[in-house]
Chains A and B, each alone.
Chain A
Amino acid sequence: MKDKNTTYNSKRTSQSVAFWIFRFFSMLVVAILFLILSFIIYKGIGVINWDFITKMPENGMTEGGILPAIIGTLCLVGGSILFAFPIGVLSGIYVNEYAKNGWFIRFVRMMTNNLAGIPSIVFGRFGMALFVNYFKFGTSIIAGSLTLGLMVLPIVIRTTEEALKSIDDSFRHGSYALGASKLETIRRVTLPMAFPNIVTGLVLSIGRVSGETAPILFTAAAYFLPKLPSSITDPVMALPYHLYVLSTSGTDLEASRSMAYGTALVLVVMVLFVNLLANALRKFFSKKVKMN
């Protein structure tokens, strides 16, 4: 009896020790995030006002606003989405729904994974060689968007694939058994069911794109522009690059420090907002899928 009690007690002790270890590390993660956020808010909130997000930079980027950088980032994000989403979603559908398991599909998967592993600065260099120089787009929104699009393509393909994979075959079989073709089954059953998860992945990849600096460094971003872009062949300023410039190579680093933190804050808020949007969209679409 005594022995049993001792074993029981020691088991309980190790249980609670394990519990506290797990708990400590997950708290640590949250704490780190909070630390970063509060640091940026503390340093950056001082310069945030209406002028900061609606005006052009002035006086060697030490005063004024960051409007062109915000607009530029929005353009680059929008362009890369237009390019990456259709291609990524369609090839994700192909890989999961059509292709038979064989060497080709293993090869495609391997290539997608490798593509995801390429450092973003390499994408930047490649984009410069292909889009800026070979296609002669110059340093421009289109060249930057295509480069960013290439970079998130594997994420989009993977998300689509995983979202489709999580749907039980019984739904597909039910559809085939009613005389539906594969295409109709994808269009009317599989894709609508996978949609909430696909959308989440897509929106998260937007967050990724909006924060990347290296791919646009040689392909789209400008140090300073006195006016807003008027076509897709214009170069743009972008938030992450602007932050880099203000921190390392501004005209007066000391004077533009608070501007840099303000830029960082705007960028972080933008990404957080996109993530919240992803959540809301997923909830909205999963409700919709069940209802109709």
Chain B
Amino acid sequence: MYKIEAKDVNLYYGDFHALKGISMSMKPNTVTALIGPSGCGKSTFLRTLNRMNDLIESVKITGLVTVDGEDIYRKNINIDELRKHVGMVFQKPNPFPKSIFENVAYGLRVNGENNRSFIEDKVKESLVQAALWEEVKDKLKKSAFELSGGQQQRLCIARALAISPSVLLMDEPASALDPISTAKIEELIYELKTNYTIVIVTHNMQQAGRVSDHTAFFYMGDLIEYGETKKVFTNPDHTQTQNYITGRFG
């Protein structure tokens, strides 16, 4: 049983054909890395999985995308509910201008959770999971803006985990961070795999190699190659993949 399945997904921004017949499936509790040069469609594909592309005007999508076997583009779907199941972490850390505690509690509150002790437990649990608890446990009431960039990003991960999603989408989560913070995030991804299905977009080849089980190489809106990370990196089927991975273009 696949966690996520995409079948012949086409996406247009106005006249621009951004995704050309993408079909790929992801198993539960795996990490899939999406790689490719800028503008290849990898982030766009990531955003089709929680329907964030809906927020852009003049987007048209055809094909089938399912999460847990359910068509997420069917007519009467509750998109807010979908986004609770499919969490997302953005490229630039984007904590809300609220306290550290309220940032993590946000998702619970907007989903109607009022039980104080439940929220407190959940906030702690999420911060522990995101490997941030030790650093912030004494200043939960402080503004999230006082944290460093790396801490803010882990806060955003904690925020996403608090509403118990089963899929976590990460759009270049470490690209704005220093090497130490990046290492922490990568470690975190590895640990989160036991509970979540993770799809990560990255520009960093080594990162893709380190954290992912499967790798998909996108180029000009096409899915060129998709397979086990080890195989894609050591013995790819396509020369384009080979060239990109070894740094000959892109």
Interface bin, chain B: 20 to 34
With contact pairs A184-B110, A291-B143 given, residues A178 and B98 touching in the complex (Cβ less than 8 Å): no
With contact pairs A173-B52, A178-B159, A181-B80 given, residues A192 and B106 touching in the complex (Cβ less than 8 Å): no
Interface bin, chain A: 20 to 34
Interface flag for A188 (CB, 8 Å): yes
- Contact yes or no, B159 A292, CB < 8 A: no
State which of A178, A184, A291 has its C-beta within 8 Å of the C-beta of B163: A178
State which of A174, A181, A184, A289 has its C-beta within 8 Å of the C-beta of B90: A174
- Contact yes or no, A289 B97, CB < 8 A: yes
| Interface-lining segment among B19-27, B81-89, B128-136 | B81-89
Interface flag for A180 (CB, 8 Å): yes
Task: Give the residues in chain A near B227, CB-CB below 8 Å.
Answer: none
Question: What distance in Å separates the Cβ of B81 from its nearest Cβ neighbour in chain A?
Answer: 7
Interface flag for B111 (CB, 8 Å): yes
A171 CA / B97 CA spacing, docked (Å): 9
Question: What distance in Å separates the Cβ of B195 from its nearest Cβ neighbour in chain A?
Answer: 18
Question: What distance in Å separates the Cβ of A177 from its nearest Cβ neighbour in chain B?
Answer: 4
- Contact yes or no, B143 A188, CB < 8 A: no
Question: What distance in Å separates the Cβ of B59 from its nearest Cβ neighbour in chain A?
Answer: 13
Mark interface residues in B86-115 (1 if CB within 8 Å of A CB, else 0).
011010101111110010001101110000
- Contact yes or no, B94 A173, CB < 8 A: yes
Interface flag for A101 (CB, 8 Å): yes
- Contact yes or no, B97 A174, CB < 8 A: no
Interface flag for B15 (CB, 8 Å): no
Interface flag for B145 (CB, 8 Å): yes
Q: B residues 31-89 with Cβ under 8 Å of A? A: 50, 52, 55, 57, 80-81, 83-84, 87-88
- Contact yes or no, B57 A178, CB < 8 A: no
Closest to B106 in A: A178
Closest to B88 in A: A177
- Contact yes or no, B90 A188, CB < 8 A: no
Interface flag for A49 (CB, 8 Å): no
Question: What distance in Å separates the Cβ of A153 from its nearest Cβ neighbour in chain B?
Answer: 28
Closest to A193 in B: B97
Question: What distance in Å separates the Cβ of B149 from its nearest Cβ neighbour in chain A?
Answer: 14
Interface flag for A100 (CB, 8 Å): yes
Interface flag for A170 (CB, 8 Å): yes
Interface flag for A179 (CB, 8 Å): yes
Interface flag for B160 (CB, 8 Å): yes
Question: What distance in Å separates the Cβ of A115 from its nearest Cβ neighbour in chain B?
Answer: 27
Question: What distance in Å separates the Cβ of B50 from its nearest Cβ neighbour in chain A?
Answer: 7
- Contact yes or no, B83 A178, CB < 8 A: yes
Interface flag for B174 (CB, 8 Å): no
Interface flag for B156 (CB, 8 Å): yes
- Contact yes or no, A189 B80, CB < 8 A: no
Mark interface residues in A140-183 (1 if CB within 8 Å of B CB, else 0).
00000000000000000000000000001011011111111100
Closest to B143 in A: A290
Task: Give the residues in chain A near B109, CB-CB below 8 Å.
Answer: 188
Task: Give the residues in chain B near A176, CB-CB below 8 Å.
Answer: 52, 55, 83
- Contact yes or no, B52 A175, CB < 8 A: no
A184 CA / B111 CA spacing, docked (Å): 10
A291 CA / B98 CA spacing, docked (Å): 6
- Contact yes or no, B107 A179, CB < 8 A: yes
Q: By CB atoms of chain A within 10 A, which of B80, B88, B97 has the most?
A: B97
Task: Give the residues in chain A near B102, CB-CB below 8 Å.
Answer: 292
Mark interface residues in B124-156 (1 if CB within 8 Å of A CB, else 0).
000000000000000000010100000000001
- Contact yes or no, A292 B98, CB < 8 A: yes
Task: Give the residues in chain B near A174, CB-CB below 8 Å.
Answer: 90, 94-96, 156, 159
A176 CA / B84 CA spacing, docked (Å): 9
A174 CA / B106 CA spacing, docked (Å): 10
Closest to B142 in A: A291
- Contact yes or no, B50 A177, CB < 8 A: yes
Q: Give 14 new A-B contacts, CB below 8 A, not counting A174-B159, A177-B87, A178-B163.
A: A100-B57, A101-B57, A170-B92, A170-B94, A171-B94, A174-B95, A175-B96, A176-B83, A178-B83, A179-B163, A180-B110, A188-B110, A289-B97, A292-B102
Binding site for B on A (CB under 8 A): 100-101, 168, 170-171, 173-181, 184, 188-189, 192-193, 289-292
Please list the 10 inter-chain residue pairs (A to B) with the smallest Cβ-Cβ separation, ordered nearest first. Answer: A178-B107, A179-B84, A180-B110, A177-B88, A170-B94, A174-B94, A179-B80, A179-B83, A290-B143, A184-B110
